[in-house]
Amino acid sequence: MPGALLIGDTAGLLNVPKIKGTHQGDPQRHARRRAPTAAGALEPAGFDAKLRASDAMAELKQVRNIKPGFKKGLWFGLTNAAWETALGGASPWTLKGKADWSSLDRAGEHEQPRRDYLERSLAPRDRLQGVYFAATEHDEDQPVHLKVADTSICVERCTAEYANPCTRFCPAGVYEMVEDDAGRRLQINAANCVHCKTCDIKDPYEIITWVTPEGGSGPNYQNL
């Protein structure tokens, strides 16, 4: 992107099957590889070509199908992993994934879970306590960094079709559907956001966009 370069694990360079696959996700390693190019020319095409011609990309191409194979189930994934390992990634195909939001089922497609038993949770805290321990910091009056293109879709279509999954998949309770004098509406508690970007990825209508918050606010990553 203009003015920025994703390297290491951020760029998806983790070698998943390796026990120590983080060697390809090491930002310092990739920074050293990219430094001469960056000093010579700040062209994104140059960075891309240098990466694709590197030993890192050759190694990752050999394992490109292993993790996607587990999307089709454990046994298929294990069989596929053995096949790809034996062939060294020489399969003439590349398994393609699908968007996370497409795995959501519509409301009413499944039976309601039984609740006639005593529920116990292994989690030591609820969502709001989790936000507290994440030490997330946003000014209450700063601009909301979670952009919803059309909130009427949330109120009308999403309520009927998916029962507002954002109120459940968000780990920090950022999204709430509230009833007031004006009727049903979406409330965004942006100050709770822990920057997991689940909403941007899992929203079935792809109308939620996470953007960088004002002043670099967010969780205290050093102390998580």
Q: Note the Cα 111 to chain centre separation in Å.
A: 28
Of all residues in the chain, the percent with pLDDT exceeding 90 is 26
Amino acid at residue number 158: C
pLDDT at 208 over 70: yes
CA-to-CA distance for 83 and 80, rounded, in angstroms?
Answer: 5
Of all residues in the chain, the percent with pLDDT exceeding 70 is 78
| Domain at 127-223: CATH architecture | 2-Layer Sandwich (3.30)
Q: Where are the domains of the chain?
A: 8-87, 127-223
Would you state the torsion angle of the CA atoms of residues 75, 80, 82, 83, taken in this order, to the nearest 10 degrees? Answer: 140
Average pLDDT rounded to a whole number, residues 36-61: 69
Question: Residues with Cβ < 8 Å from 31, sequence gap 6 or more?
Answer: 7, 8
pLDDT at position 200? 93
Average pLDDT rounded to a whole number, residues 93-99: 84
| pLDDT tens track for 99-145 | 888 888 888 888 877 766 666 665 556 777 777 777 888 887 888 99
pLDDT at position 147? 94
| pLDDT tens track for 140-170 | 788 899 999 999 999 999 999 999 999 988 8
pLDDT at 44 over 60: no
